[in-house]
Amino acid sequence: MHSAHSISFIAQSEIMRGIIARINTISASDSSIFLIGETGVGKELIAEYVHQTSTRSACPFVKVGLTALPHELLESELFGHDKGAYTSASNEKKGLFELAHTGSIFLDDIDDFPLPLQAKLLRVLESRELMRVGGTTSISVDVRLITASKVDLKDLVNRGLFRADLYYRINVVPMVIPPLRDRAQDIPLLVDHFLKRFAPERQISVDAGALDALLQYSWPGNIRELRNAVQRIALFVNGQVRLADLPSEIRQENPLDLMIKACDRCFAEGKMSFDEVVTCLETNLIRRALRESGGNRTNAAKVLGLNLSTFRDKLKKYKLDDQE
């Protein structure tokens, strides 16, 4: 799916089309947008898209990777400093908020924002003016705020690591960007897109075995990992990508390992209780067995090594009996 703007989205999955449609309806407003998603899902691209589809598109778009900035430099980077504010400040310096004036500012990894500075950020957002480090006058700033986090900020609020008032200020329009493993429909399009980007002069296709492995893999690094993998593949493949051409970690994952890894991650991140993890794993195994046996319960039970009555009980328990 391509936008009329210079950023195009490669999205066939229902879930991503829904997100893009939602952005298109709200980008004209000035509401703060909060993007939530794992590392590598494309939050920065979505932030750029929000800016480009907004009324501020001709104005500056400033991206700030908060993880990359040392905490002690953060205040003067964001809010600027006046001459003589500290020993090395021989000149005045405009901060990133001033540079973004009339445009949008994207604060990535807002979960890494140091607690002592959160009050100042909140003041700037509420009053729409800032004071440079060492400064004495207020400078008004008009920016649209887009933030992103790789973790659940609510959890940080509950643990006293993130101010609740700041959380509510940035969480006006939250958008959860799903990991790549939850939108496998987009994988073939993305692979094709990256092959054209990294090997424009060659016609490279992907054979069925390789495509199946790409679809089965869990992509812990999401789109970024997929892009890097395709870039490596494009270096030495001519004509067709086969299973043997894929990086070993993609070739070697079997579906059961994938499921267990996914459930293990949910458990480790504290998002699911033990019972929920077991339910998730059993449900996925049953669905897969039914898919592989074309909906035949006897064969599906056999695949899982269960007797038919146990299998039927589980179908009932997980309300899967109407879902073959």
- Asked if pLDDT for residue 2 goes beyond 60, the answer is no
Distance (Å, rounded) from C-alpha 315 to C-alpha 313? Answer: 5
Q: Check whether residue 154 and residue 205 sit in a common domain.
A: no
For residue 130, what is the domain's CATH number?
3.40.50.300
* pLDDT at res. 1: 37
Q: State the average pLDDT over residues 116-139.
A: 88
> Which of 268, 255, 266, 168 lies closest to 218, judged by CA?
255
Q: Are residues 213 and 274 in the same domain?
A: no
Domain final residue pick, 237, 252, 267: 252
Looking at the structure, do residues 230 and 274 belong to the same domain, yes or no? no
* Mean pLDDT (whole number) for 231-253: 85
What is the domain count for the chain? 3
Instruction: Single out the residue in 134, 151, 176 at which a domain terminates.
Output: 176
pLDDT of residue 61: 95
Q: Answer yes or no: do 51 and 113 share one domain.
A: yes
Regarding whether 244 and 157 lie in a shared domain, the answer is: no
Q: Report the CATH number at residue 313.
A: 1.10.10
Quick one: average pLDDT of 224-245? 89
Amino acid letter, 315? L
CA distances from 175 to 23, 31, 62, 105, 235 (A): 9, 12, 20, 17, 36
Q: How confident is the model at residue 3 (pLDDT cuts 50, 70, 90)?
A: very low
- Whether residue 229 is contained in a domain is answered as yes
pLDDT at 255: 62
Per-residue pLDDT tens over the stretch 262-318: 677 777 777 778 888 888 888 888 888 888 777 888 888 888 888 888 988 888 888
Say whether pLDDT at 324 is over 50. Answer: no
Say if residue 235 is in the same domain as residue 269. Answer: no
Which of 176, 207, 228 is a domain's end point? 176
pLDDT at position 6, please? 42
The pLDDT score that the predictor gives to residue 56 is: 92
Residue 9 lies in a domain: no
Within a domain: 273: yes
pLDDT of residue 118: 94
Q: What is the pLDDT of residue 119?
A: 92
- When pLDDT is averaged across residues 116-130 and rounded to a whole number, the result is 91
CA angle (193 as vertex; 189, 197 as ends), nearest 5? 170
Q: How far, in Å, are 203, 258, 293, 324 from residue 300 at the CA level?
A: 40, 19, 6, 11
SS3 category, 294: coil
Domain for residue 322, yes or no?
no
pLDDT confidence of residue 34 = 95
If asked whether residues 106 and 237 sit together in one domain, one would say no
Angle, helices 222-236 vs 187-198, to 10°: value is: 50
Residues 127 and 156 in one domain: yes
Q: What is the CATH number of the domain that holds 192?
A: 1.10.8.60
Structural domain includes residue 205: yes
At 30, is the pLDDT very low, low, confident or very high (cuts 50, 70, 90)? confident
96 and 234 part of one domain: no
Instruction: Examine the pLDDT at 184 and tell me if it is beyond 60.
Output: yes
Output 28 or 84, whichever has higher pLDDT: 28
**Mean pLDDT calculated for residue range 82-103:** 78
CA 105 to CA 47: how far, in whole Å?
9
Give the structural domain span for 201: 180-252
Residue 117 in domain? yes
Burial of 248 (0-12, 13-18, 19+ CB in 10 A): exposed
What pLDDT sits at residue 89?
A: 54
What is the SS3 assignment for 34?
strand
Looking at the fold, whether 222 and 268 belong to one and the same domain comes out as no
Q: Is the pLDDT of residue 165 over 90?
A: yes
Residues 271, 308 within the same domain: yes
Q: Is residue 2 part of a domain?
A: no
191: in domain: yes
Same domain, 228 and 266: no
Confidence (pLDDT) at 69: 83
